[in-house]
Amino acid sequence: MKRSVILLVLMLMANLLYSQEWCIKLPFDDCDAFFFHCDASADYNYSLGSVTEVHDNKSKPLILCVNNEGEYKYRILDFDTVVVTINAALGLGDGNLFVNAYCNEPESESLKNKLWLAIINPNLEILHQNLIDVDDDYMSFGPEADLVMNEKAEIILATQITKDNYLINPIYDYVFYKFDNQCNMIKNVILENTSYNLNINDLTIIPESECYAIFGKGMYPSGTPTVFYLDDNLNYMYSTLIDDPNNYPNYISPEFMDVHWLDNDSYLMSAMTPYTHGYNEWYPLLLKMDKEMNIIDSVRFERVDTTDYVSQYRSLIYHNSNTIYVSTFWQHIKMHNMYPNTSSVFLLDEDLNVLGKVFFDYDKYIALTSIQHTADDGCIVVGTYNENNRMCAIMWKLSREDFLDGTNIKEEMISVNTKISPNPVSDNLNIYIDKINDIKVCIDIFDVKGRIVLENDTFMSNNEMSIDVSSLKSGMYLCRIKTEEKYVFTDTFIKE
């Protein structure tokens, strides 16, 4: 059963998020800052990424720890002998964090021939660490990895390895490790990949079993999304396609999957719709599925733009049966991702009922890179944005009540088509949006550097309006239309 979501929009405008508990921004002079990996541990939340110096493009690991009150510390790790890039992190439940990174000697930048493991406390002190060499038959580790802890407090790591000397379209195999709580390796197992593709989206433990499930792409010749299973000794058992490609056009080909097992036979998975239609028909989904890949239930998150597609990265957090968070952000395909976009976080229950939504209408492009739960049932949303041609890290703390506050919530269902013409255009640009009529709209025109070059408030009548663009220089532009109801539509055009 598929259902469309009623938009429950709690407007959080511009830089002021009215009901947020706190917001942290990390701009650095002459450096780009990113957070890619996050996890919670007891009363602390960790975000991990990198800072990259603009003048020489050198990166260093960045780790931030914050408590529920927004008090935080961050640390930039600097190693004299190796270059370290963090690619997975796992909260251990006691306030500490297990970190995995691939690394290399400075003179060998292309080959990542070592793994760095560490346990870090809330003061960002390294309690334990270890350095693991790549297996003798292989040349390098790959960039993707994930971690999970089993009931015996063993830490399981899944990552990539390759025999290729040059990391240009390498063929990866899998390697799995077990570590104790002091970073000592218990065992490792290599699994030869039977697909040309290998992605590790989510490593999970199946409840009430001693088995692991890995969601991503691999172990199937066509390179389509799969889930495959390992026993407690990390030995391969079998793999299953997430959906049959013969089901086209209803084929589910999810990207950037996040999974939470409800019991030993069913799970929730956040995913994007397949690449079987145009970008304007891609939707984020939350699926309830069984181990045989049958869809038990699903919810499709409606979108108000019709030009671009919606992304989800590490977007699903299951806190309890009444508190599930899913984050999305809209991504411009036709033009550089410097343009303002919109992002959303949904609150759902285990029956896939949407209880509320926080809607970010920001004046910059923001990519939501992860979401994590907090000890008080809230969530922390982590992303990156552009400020003066520097990428900055940002995070917000939202309480569960922010999603349930009826003030400023709008209930509306909308599915529209847009058209701009002529394209290319020399003087007047005509804009058509069906189902949007007799309302005031704000039009912003952006150049290829993301700067607003033309603004106009006008009235849409009979689903149409026109704007004079004759003063613009020749080139490509993005047109953003915002209605009084805060719906946003975007499209691109070429000025002759």
- Name 338's Cβ contacts closer than 8 Å, sequence gap at least 6: 365, 386, 449, 450
- Of 194, 195, 294, 282, give the one whose Cα is nearest residue 242: 294
The single-letter code of the amino acid at 313 is: Y
Confidence at residue 190, expressed as pLDDT on a 0 to 100 scale: 97
Q: Parallel, antiparallel, or unpaired: how do β-strands 2-4 and 295-300 relate?
A: parallel
User: For the segment 265-277, what is each residue's pLDDT rounded down to a tens digit?
Assistant: 999 998 776 544 5
* For the ranges 91-105, 357-371, 377-391, the one whose mean pLDDT is highest: 91-105
Give, for 40, the enclosing helix (H) or strand (E).
strand 31-41
* Top-confidence range, 101-110, 165-174, 480-489: 165-174
| Three-state secondary structure of 82-102 | CEEEEEEEEECCCCCEEEEEE
CA distances from 198 to 142, 172, 370, 487 (A): 10, 6, 21, 38
Residue 121 has pLDDT above 80, yes or no: yes
> Where do we find the tokens 């292309």?
110
Check whether the bond before 422 is cis (ω within 30° of 0). yes
Which range has the worst mean pLDDT, 187-201, 365-379, 412-426?
Answer: 412-426
Q: What is the pLDDT of residue 338?
A: 56
Both tokens of 18, joined, read: 């009215």
Q: Where do we find the tokens 């999304």?
A: 225
Would you state the pLDDT for residue 8? 31
The rounded mean pLDDT for the chain is 81
Give Cβ neighbours of residue 280 (< 8 Å, ≥ 6 apart).
305, 306, 307, 308, 309
What is the average per-residue pLDDT within 193-221? 90
Rounded to whole angstroms, what are the CA distances from 343 to 19, 359, 363, 463, 484? 16, 6, 11, 26, 18
pLDDT greater than 90 at residue 187 = yes
Q: What tokens appear for 388 in the block?
A: 């003066």
Q: What is the pLDDT of residue 228?
A: 93
* Bridge partner list, 461: 464
Q: Using the predicted structure, report yes or no on whether residue 212 has a pLDDT greater than 70.
A: yes
**Are 258 and 232 within 8 A, CB to CB?**
no
pLDDT of 364 = 72
Could you tell me which residue, 174 or 485, shows the higher pLDDT? 174
Q: How confident is the model at residue 332 (pLDDT cuts 50, 70, 90)?
A: low
* Residue 413 pLDDT exceeds 60: no
Q: Name the token pair of 457.
A: 């408030």
Average pLDDT over residues 8-37: 64
Cβ-contact 474, 495 below 8 angstroms: yes
How confident is the model over 51-92, as pLDDT tens digits? 888 777 778 899 999 998 889 999 998 877 667 889 999 999
User: Among candidates 407, 402, 461, which has minimal Cα distance to 430?
Assistant: 461
User: HEC profile for 278-318?
Assistant: CHHHCCEEEEEEECCCCEEEEEECCCCCCCCEEECCCCEEE
Q: How far apart, in whole angstroms, are the C-alpha atoms of residue 442 and residue 481?
A: 6
Q: Give 382 or 481, the one with higher predicted confidence.
A: 382
Q: What is the signed CA dihedral for 334, 340, 341, 346, rounded to 10 degrees?
A: 160
Looking at the DSSP assignment, which residues form a beta bridge with residue 263? 266
- pLDDT for residue 412: 37
Res 5: pLDDT: 34
CA distance 43 to 208: 27
Report the distance separating Cα 249 and Cα 273, nearest Å: 11
SS3 404: helix
Q: What is the pLDDT of residues 367-385, one digit of tens each?
A: 888 899 898 899 999 988 8
Query: Is a pLDDT exceeding 50 seen at residue 4?
Result: no
User: Is pLDDT above 60 for 307?
Assistant: no
Position 27 scores a pLDDT of 83
More confident residue, 244 or 293: 293
- Over residues 419-471, the pLDDT tens digits come to 889 989 999 999 887 766 777 888 888 776 667 788 888 888 888 888 999 99
Asked whether the bond before 122 is cis by omega within 30 degrees of 0, the reply is: no
Q: Which residues contact 426 (CB under 8 A, 6 or more apart)?
A: 470, 495, 496
CA distance 62 to 31: 12
